[in-house]
């Protein structure tokens, strides 16, 4: 898992480092974040279904199956261009972003991916932003009368902590 403070040696550079191996498979899928658990599971799933998988990550791949590209982090301004460069060169029919920090970015340029013939299943940017914001999600669900755990900001918790209530703390965004 890659944290928000991580840096990438190729930051602000399009995807240029590339390793490829011959594959008899022709239908390609592009999977991001292949060094993480969701990425590696997605690759295994797609390979079992006969797809050639093009991999990307911000760190070198631990193992190469078909084709790998080193790309900047999802919050890097060059991420979009790096993914579009991989798509233009490799021509995958499917893109599966598996890193939560990349979802909002990909949702904002999905029209460009679709214009290149790539299929992807991702919500509109506002929906992705809502899903990535745990407080906003809890607030909106509560307003719709959908039961959610009591949700507070850290600044609102003093009385709760003094009362000895059990707490679960998490970040507002991400995993």
Nearest one of 46, 48, 50, 92 to 69, comparing CA atoms: 92
Taking the C-alpha atoms of residue 114 and residue 112, their distance in angstroms, rounded to an integer, is 5
Q: Specify whether 88 is located in the same domain as 150.
A: no
Is residue 128 in a domain? no
What is the reported pLDDT for 64?
63
How many structural domains does the chain have? Answer: 2
Mean pLDDT within 15-28? 58
Q: Which residue has the higher pLDDT, 36 or 21?
A: 36
- The mean of the pLDDT values for the chain is 82
Q: Hey, how many other C-beta atoms are within 10 angstroms of the C-beta on 78?
A: 18
**What radius of gyration, in Å, describes the C-alpha atoms of the chain?**
19
Taking the C-alpha atoms of residue 78 and residue 85, their distance in angstroms, rounded to an integer, is 11
Structural domain span for residue 36: 18-122
Mean pLDDT within 117-125? 94
Residues constituting the chain: 175
Reported as a pLDDT band with limits 50, 70 and 90, residue 161 is low
User: Which sign does the torsion angle of CA 98, 100, 105, 109 carry?
Assistant: positive
Whichever domain contains 58, its CATH number is 3.40.50.20
Is residue 96 in a domain? yes
Taking the C-alpha atoms of residue 55 and residue 35, their distance in angstroms, rounded to an integer, is 9
């Amino acid at each position: 898992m890659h944290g928000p403070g991580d840096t990438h040696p190729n930051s602000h550079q399009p995807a240029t480092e590339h390793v490829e191996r011959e594959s008899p498979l022709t239908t390609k899928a592009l999977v991001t974040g292949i060094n993480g658990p969701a990425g590696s599971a997605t690759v295994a799933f797609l390979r079992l279904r006969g797809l050639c998988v093009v991999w990307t990550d911000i760190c070198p791949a631990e193992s190469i199956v078909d084709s790998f590209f080193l790309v900047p982090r999802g919050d890097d301004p060059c991420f979009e261009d790096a993914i579009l460069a991989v798509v233009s060169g490799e021509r995958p029919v499917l893109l599966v972003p598996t890193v939560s920090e990349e979802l909002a970015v990909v949702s904002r340029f999905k029209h460009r991916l679709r214009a290149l013939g790539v299929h992807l299943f991702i919500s509109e940017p506002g929906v992705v932003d809502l899903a990535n914001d745990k407080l906003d999600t809890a607030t909106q669900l509560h307003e719709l009368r959908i039961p959610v755990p009591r949700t507070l900001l850290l600044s609102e918790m003093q009385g709760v902590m003094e009362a000895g209530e059990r707490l679960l703390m998490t970040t507002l965004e991400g995993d």
